[in-house]
Amino acid sequence: MCTTYKNEILALEDQSDEALCLLAASGNRMAEETLVARYNRLVRTCARPFFLAGGDSEDLTQEGMVGLITAVREYNSEKETSFRTFAEICIRSRLYSVIRADRRDKQQPLNQSVSLDTPYFEFESNSIASGTSNLAQRNPEDFLIDREHTAALLSGVRKQLSEFEARILGYYLDGLSCREIAKAVNKPPKSVDNAVQRIRRKVARHLLSGDFSRC
């Protein structure tokens, strides 16, 4: 039984995203779990700018996973958009909607977080509110703009980082786990975590200063 299960998992891992979505839509739970595992790092990548800006890491990751599962269950393979693009839209939209709700209700911990991707999220949230949002048809080029905007905001922060902190930030925003980063930089996980906390403090000061002229 164990061997059969492992063989099924291996077979699913060889399937494309779109094929796995079709299987998941037909009720194959293992296909859904395979996709979720495949895009776990994307969830971290989407959530971490919000964490650096003041959000709670675990809460944001959980909410990002909700967005990912939504993508798996709602993806339409007949659309031209790839599953990865659709998943990123759903994850980011979920994160921003949660943060906005917490700000509105004045609840902790997410109400203190600041979006590093405001242009995209303002557009998307307004579209959702007006009923005009079509996630599957969003232009992938919009994400390039989002990433460039985030990079511009963080460039000013990077000038305040040590060489070690700058390396950690790069790996961290790429969605690597603490242990993966520690292995990459040949440092203990605790040193990586301490560096992330220092980066968060510097991001907070940079955002509170309102000075983005150097970005």
pTM: 0.72
Structure confidence at residue 147 (pLDDT): 56
Distance CA 157, CA 144 (A): 20
Structure confidence at residue 176 (pLDDT): 94
Distance CA 172, CA 169 (A): 5
CA distances from 209 to 26, 52, 160, 195 (A): 51, 15, 13, 21
Structure confidence at residue 124 (pLDDT): 41
Three-state SS at 117 = coil
Q: Which long-range contacts (CB under 8 A, 24 or more apart) does 32-36 make?
A: 32/69, 32/72, 32/73, 34/9, 35/68, 35/72, 35/83, 36/65, 36/68, 36/69, 36/72
Average pLDDT, the chain: 77
**CA dihedral of residues 59, 97, 86, 119 (deg, nearest 10):** -120
Q: For the chain, which residues make up each domain, given as ranges?
A: 39-209
Alpha helix (H) residue ranges in 54-140: 57-74, 83-105, 118-130
Question: Using one digit for the tens of pLDDT, what is the confidence trace for 94-129?
Answer: 988 887 776 666 544 444 444 444 433 343 434 433
Taken in order 95, 101, 106, 107, the sign of the CA dihedral is negative
Q: Quick one: tokens of 140?
A: 């992938």
Question: Using one digit for the tens of pLDDT, what is the confidence trace for 61-83?
Answer: 999 999 999 999 999 888 778 99
Distance CA 175, CA 41 (A): 5
Residues of the chain with pLDDT under 70: 1-10, 102-153, 210-215
Distance CA 62, CA 65 (A): 5
Structure confidence at residue 212 (pLDDT): 45
Burial of 162 (0-12, 13-18, 19+ CB in 10 A): exposed
Taken in order 79, 84, 85, 87, the sign of the CA dihedral is positive
Distance CA 186, CA 133 (A): 45
Burial of 12 (0-12, 13-18, 19+ CB in 10 A): buried
